[in-house]
A and B are shown apart, each in its own frame.
Chain A
Amino acid sequence: NAGVTQTPKFQVLKTGQSMTLQCAQDMNHEYMSWYRQDPGMGLRLIHYSVGAGITDQGEVPNGYNVSRSTTEDFPLRLLSAAPSQTSVYFCASSPRQGSNIQYFGAGTRLSVL
């Protein structure tokens, strides 16, 4: 009963490095999203996807890239990490039909030095 799986759980980067946060879901959900959580600001939407091959920007997309080649996977790429991207990142998935309740992964804590 895996649900939404995020890897890694923790990561430390140096400014300018690139990396990919992985997200996979086994519930056959059409919708997937990436959020970042910062103190005092709740969760903010970075990018989302409504199906394989379709992605769109959320509230805070700058510095991040996504693609969706399969229904299961939705990786988030940091192209050139900056200290402002230090945050906790959550991936979520939801079914297309019904109330679209979003199911979250366990999060990735990222520090950029």
Chain B
Amino acid sequence: AQTVTQSQPEMSVQEAETVTLSCTYDTSESDYYLFWYKQPPSRQMILVIRQEAYKQQNATENRFSVNFQKAAKSFSLKISDSQLGDAAMYFCAYRDFLINAGGTSYGKLTFGQGTILTVHP
């Protein structure tokens, strides 16, 4: 079974600085998806960024970027120019890339334990 590990229960950063959240995973598959979700105090789960394992290039979304190391099974999230609104719980998640006769099939999302990010003004 796939596992996802976030070894940092809590992290903090000063406003406008850069912070990196760590995530490692274990899988025997060669094709899969990786995600970072943000959960602010409102509880809403918000997709931050997505990476396909077959793509060598690291995904980027504005101030958010990832460092995807496939051989090391590592998927860290870098937040640049941190803002107060970035304060939240961040979850790393893994999904198999499954194909069936119909073209695609359901892939279970496996989540890490989460990292609470605090942003200091």
Contacts and interface: CB of A to CB of B under 8 A. Distances in A.
A96 B104 contact: yes
Contacts of B52: 99
Interface string A66-105: 0000000000000000000000101010001111111110
Interface of B is mostly: loop
A112 interface: no
Contacts, number: 58
Nearest to B111: A42
Contact-size category for B? 20 to 34
A41 B5 CA distance: 10
Contact of B104 (A45, A48, A88, A100): A100
Contacts of B45: 43, 90, 92, 104, 107
A109 B105 CA distance: 30
B113 interface: yes
Interface string B1-35: 00010000100000000000000000000000101
